[in-house]
Amino acid sequence: MNDRIDSHFAKIFSPILTNLMRMERIREKVQEHVNSVIAHCRKSISSTHRDDFAVSEAELRKAKGELAKILLLSKNSPQLLGWNLVTSAYQEYVEASLLFCVGRGIKIPSPKSLSVPPVAFLLGAADLVGELRRMVVNAIRSDEMHEAEEFYQYMVTMFEHISRFPLSDSMVPGLRRKIDQARYTLEETNAVLAEEHSRRELIRQMEDTRRLLKSYKLGR
């Protein structure tokens, strides 16, 4: 009787174990590709900030290739696509792709054109606000106030759109926190721009005063 019970249980649990072991092997391979996606996207972001768009675009192509490998590996195990790290990989790809487009001054792509899940697109777009702040600061340092204002307007517009989603964390985990962080970043960047405008206005007034005093001395 014990043998019959053991045999019966083996028929039930052995296929489950075999399937889970197969999924674990796939998961390990997916993890490697996820790490590669994130590494390529971070290189792309750094290159965009340096205005090295050729390298940035090349890194995005590499990241896209790694995402294609993840999709292929998950073909028979679609549940892996819902894994948090896979979502993070798509999210990084969205952030790097959108930043590249802003830097180049080209149209922002849709989730469909990037072939990414809508949730990952939302999360990546929310993270973009932080990278745009970096572009604002870099433009100010380069004495490009017009560019700084343009990047700030991108920040405002992006925030206005992502904050329209009244979704709970159970629907899009982490989105509310990212929106709150984006709001803080936006306020902080607005303060930086206001301070820079005030500084430049003060310098202009001081220069006007200096010229006025100089002309007064020459006229005496």
Q: At what angle do helices 2-49 and 118-141 cross, to 10 degrees?
A: 30
Query: What average pLDDT does the structure give for the chain?
Result: 86
CA dihedral angle for residue 112, residue 113, residue 119, residue 125, rounded to 10 degrees: -150
- Whether 112 is in a domain gets the answer no
Of the residues 105, 139, 159, the one at which a domain ends: 105
- Whether 49 is in a domain gets the answer yes
Specify whether 125 is located in the same domain as 52: no
- Whether 157 is in a domain gets the answer yes
Q: How far apart are CA 99 and CA 194, in angstroms?
A: 24
- Structural domain including 99 reads 1-105
pLDDT tier for residue 28 given thresholds of 50, 70 and 90:
confident
Higher local confidence (pLDDT), 17 or 190: 190
Q: How far apart are CA 118 and CA 87, in angstroms?
A: 10
Specify whether 99 is located in the same domain as 176: no
**Contact (CB, 8 A) for 34 and 85:** yes
Predicted confidence (pLDDT) per residue in 62-94, tens digit = 999 999 999 888 776 667 667 788 899 999 999
Residue-level pLDDT at 184:
93
What is the number of domains present in the chain? 2
Of the residues 105, 128, 158, the one at which a domain ends: 105
pTM exceeds 0.75: yes
Specify whether 149 is located in the same domain as 215: yes
Specify whether 101 is located in the same domain as 3: yes
Least confident of 11-15, 142-146, 150-154: 11-15
Specify whether 21 is located in the same domain as 58: yes
